[in-house]
Amino acid sequence: MKRSDVSRASERASPSGTIFPRMRRLALAWVAGLVGVGCARFGYSSRVLHRVPSPDGQLVAVCQEVPIFDGPEFDVRLERPDGRMVRRLFHMGDGGGCSEMTWSPDGRSLAVLTSHVAGITVVDVTWAVTHTAELNRHWFVRGFAFSREGEFMQATSLRFVSPAEVEFQLCEYSLAETQRNRGKIRCSRPAHPKRLQIPTPLVPGQPV
């Protein structure tokens, strides 16, 4: 369950229909510009979740939490090994996440896995770093989803098997059971391997 759902459930459980005192204090802290403190109480921080060097060592893919009141959210970017910013790649809301990050063998692509929704976000790194003035991420970022309406899928063990193909393990799980297990996902059946062929170009109509 997302923390936004927990907050709404707390409001419904309150006899007066208002936010509990602690929640009210956190809301006021946010309004006052103390969002960092409020988020820290929920365990949110600006911690870096992943720093993954490219195959040639020239770039580092970074995923970092963004502490917001109803978050966290996630920022994915490229840096130099010394920490200098190259460019931001994309941002994910609180339903996203960087479970795993992996580079293609040639360093031209980056794949980011959001495990609990079986989503893979692929970045055309070569295009992104040669078009740093282009802020529209839709020209170099593309998402692929492996869950369908009414089913919940988890993906794990993401890896490139060639410069243009990734493999991962996929399984179905029960949302109700996951909630009973306090967020721990257990596959209903054994996971099975699945592959994704990354199209070239990544985005149709991508400018040269």
Total number of domains in the chain: 2
207 located within any domain: no
Question: Is residue 2 located within the same domain as residue 82?
Answer: no
Helices (H), strands (E): how many in the chain? 5, 11
Position 24 scores a pLDDT of 35
Range of the domain at 22: 1-43
Position 93 scores a pLDDT of 87
Q: How far apart are CA 92 and CA 26, in angstroms?
A: 23
6 located within any domain: yes
Question: Is residue 52 located within the same domain as residue 8?
Answer: no
Position 41 scores a pLDDT of 52
Judged by DSSP in three states, 175 sits in: helix
Question: Is residue 32 located within the same domain as residue 89?
Answer: no
Sheet with strand 192-197: strands edge to edge? 152-162, 165-173, 192-197
Per-residue model confidence as pLDDT tens digits over 173-182:
999 999 999 8
Say which residue, 23 or 121, is predicted with more confidence: 121
Residue 129, judged by CB atoms within 10 A of its CB (0-12, 13-18, 19+), counts as middle
What phi, psi does 37 have (nearest 5°)?
-65, -45
Position 208 scores a pLDDT of 78
Per-residue model confidence as pLDDT tens digits over 142-171:
999 998 888 899 999 999 999 999 999 999
36 located within any domain: yes
Per-residue model confidence as pLDDT tens digits over 102-145:
999 999 999 999 999 999 999 999 999 999 999 999 999 999 99
165 located within any domain: yes
Q: How far apart are CA 155 and CA 66, in angstroms?
A: 23
The CA-atom distances, in angstroms, between 78 and each of 151, 162, 168 are 33, 22, 24
Position 140 scores a pLDDT of 97
206 located within any domain: no
Question: DSSP H helical segments within the chain, as ranges?
Answer: 3-13, 21-31, 35-41, 125-130, 175-180
Q: Alpha carbon 171 to chain centroid distance?
A: 19
203 located within any domain: no
Position 44 scores a pLDDT of 60
Taking residue 64's Cβ as centre, other Cβ atoms within 10 Å add up to 19
Per-residue model confidence as pLDDT tens digits over 25-82:
333 233 223 334 444 555 567 889 999 999 999 999 999 998 887 778 999 999 999 9
Question: Is residue 103 located within the same domain as residue 1?
Answer: no
